[in-house]
Chain A
Amino acid sequence: SQTIHQWPATLVQPVGSPLSLECTVEGTSNPNLYWYRQAAGRGLQLLFYSVGIGQISSEVPQNLSASRPQDRQFILSSKKLLLSDSGFYLCAWSALDTRVTQYFGPGTRLLVL
């Protein structure tokens, strides 16, 4: 069966520091991968998605970037964090042949102080 991992689970970072969040998927090949952010009291906002290694699409302009160095690895980064980057970050995957249904990881809670 397929599983999706995210780490770290929780992160507290000072303003201006760099960020690297990692997501990996097991049990499937060539998944579509997604990064979402859930801000307090708000719904989920799609940040990035990827259909393959090195292929990244950005949905909103922001202080963050994403990379996909391997087929089942998706990384969310920032060079300098802002207070507004605080939130709950969720990674998701969908199968290449059934792109519609997405499955989510456990999330990373980021607090920028």
Chain B
Amino acid sequence: GDSVTQMEGPVTLSEEAFLTINCTYTATGYPSLFWYVQYPGEGLQLLLKATKADDKGSNKGFEATYRKETTSFHLEKGSVQVSDSAVYFCALSDSGGGADGLTFGKGTHLIIQP
């Protein structure tokens, strides 16, 4: 079945550091890929997405490129801020147009220190 693997952390960085959170996936079809962010005590917010190979999703300074050859969708940001501290989830949808749910990684807890 489908699966998503991401580094669990916690990942601790200083403000203005470069961020990479790795995400790799296994899917039978041609999935769409997502990054969601969860701030403490809140639900998940869609951060960015990519629906086909070589697409780059971007939002709020975060970027991720859909790499079919390496089955990866790594999240990057050039200069993190304290407000980026949260849990980040990589997810895929392999529904082929159906209504199935998303398959999530276990989440990466990111801590940014001032």
Contact = CB atoms under 8 A, between A and B. Distances in A.
Nearest to A32: B99
Contact of A101 (B46, B100, B101, B104): B46
The CB with the most chain A CB atoms within 10 A, among B32, B34, B99, is that of B99
Nearest to B106: A43
Contact of A104 (B36, B51, B95, B105): B36
Interface residues of B, number: 24
Interface in B66-114: 89, 93, 95, 97-102, 104-107
Interface stretch (A13-21, A44-52, A77-85): A44-52
Given A94-B99, A99-B98, A43 B89 contact: yes
Interface residues of A, number: 24
A36 B45 CA distance: 14
Contacts of B89: 43-44
A105 B90 CA distance: 18
Contacts of B107: 43
A70 interface: no
Nearest to A106: B43
Interface string B18-49: 00000000000000101010000111111001
A46 B101 contact: yes
B46 A103 contact: yes
Contacts of A94: 99
B101 A43 contact: no
A100 interface: yes
Contact of B44 (A49, A59, A104): A104
Contacts of B104: 43-44
Interface of A: 6, 32, 34, 36, 42-44, 46, 49, 51, 59, 90, 92, 94, 99-107, 109
